[in-house]
Structure 1
C-alpha cells in the first residue's frame, strides 16, 4: 500500500516537472499516477473485504460527512490526529474517500491532455512544424 501511495505522489510531482517540456511525458506520468491511486484503492477495498468490514457506499451519511471534512481540511495533521481515535474500518473508508477525491483531478487532466494532444499534436509535430517554418524563413 505504501509503495502505491508513494508512487502516485512521485508521478504527480514528476508530471508537474515534465509538463512544461513534453506533453506525452506529462500524459504518461499522469496515467501512471492514476494507476498507482487505483492500486492503492484496490488495496484498501481488499483490506475491508478480507476482514468482513463495511465499505461505505458513496451516498452514505458517513461518506458524505467524510467528503465534507476532506474538502475543509487540506492539511495532513488533521487526518493524522483523526485516525488516532478511529477504528481501522473507518480509517480505511476515509482513505478510500481521499483516494477518490485525489483521483478526480488527474482524470480531468488526462481528458484535457488528450484533447490538447488531438488538437495541437505532440512534440514531434511541434518540432516538425518549427523545422518547416525555419526552413521556409531561411531559404
Structure 2
C-alpha cells in the first residue's frame, strides 16, 4: 500500500451503472405516463412517480454509501428493486382494470420492445418515443424496462455480495491498513 488512505477506495460512480441509466428512463416514462393517462387527483400519480424516483434515488444513495458501508449499499440497492416491483404492479393494475393487453413474452410486440429497450439507456430516446404511443404501449414499454432493470439490479446485488465475501468490509480494510502502517513504521 503506497497510500495510507487506500482502505477507502472511492466508489459510487452510479451514472455508469446500466441499472441507474434504465431507472432514469423508467422515471421519465412514469412521470409522463402518470400525468397524461391518470386522472388529476388520483393518488396513483404520486405513488407511481415516487416508486420510480425511489428506485433511481436508492441506486444513487447506495452507490454513495459504498465507500464506507457495503451493507448500506446492498440494502439500498435492494430497496431500489422493491420500488421497481411496486411500480411494476401499478402498471400491471393499470392495464388489467382498463382491459388493456399486457404483452406476453412471446408476442412480437414484446420481443420488439425487449430488443429496443436492451439497446437504449438514454431517457431522451424514450421521452420522444412515448409522445406518440398509446397508454397501453407506453405501459408495456415501462414494464419491459422494469424487468430489464430488475435483472441488472439482481446482478449488481450478486456482485456486491461476492465482493463483500472476497474483500470484506470497511472494518477489515481499516484494520489491514493500520497493520500495514505499523509494519512500515516500526
TM > 0.5? yes
Instruction: Name structure 1 gaps, 5 residues minimum.
Output: none
Among candidates 15, 24, 27, match of residue 74 of structure 2: 27
1:94 match = 141
1:46 match = 93
Give 1:56 shift. Answer: 0.8
* Structural mapping, 1:113-128, within 5 Å: 113-127=160-174
1:62 aligns with 2:109: yes
CA distance in 1, matches of 2:169, 2:106: 40
Give 1:122 shift. Answer: 2.8
Moved more, 5-14 or 54-63: 54-63
Give 1:73 shift. Answer: 2.9
Q: Higher relative CO (CA 8 A, sep ≥ 6), structure 1 or 2?
A: 2
CA distance in 1, matches of 2:63, 2:53: 15
CA distance in 1, matches of 2:182, 2:64: 33
3-state SS of the aligned residue for 1:55? coil
TM-score (norm 2): 0.65
Assess, with a 3 A threshold, how the Cα gap between structure 1 residues 75 and 116 changes in structure 2: closer, same or farther. closer
Higher helix share: 1
| Runs of 4 or more consecutive aligned structure 1 residues displaced over 6 Å after TM superposition | none
2:156 match = 109
How many residues are matched? 138
Instruction: Name structure 2 gaps, 5 residues minimum.
Output: 1-47
TM-score (norm 1): 0.85
Q: What is the RMSD of the two structures over their aligned residues, measured on CA atoms?
A: 2.1
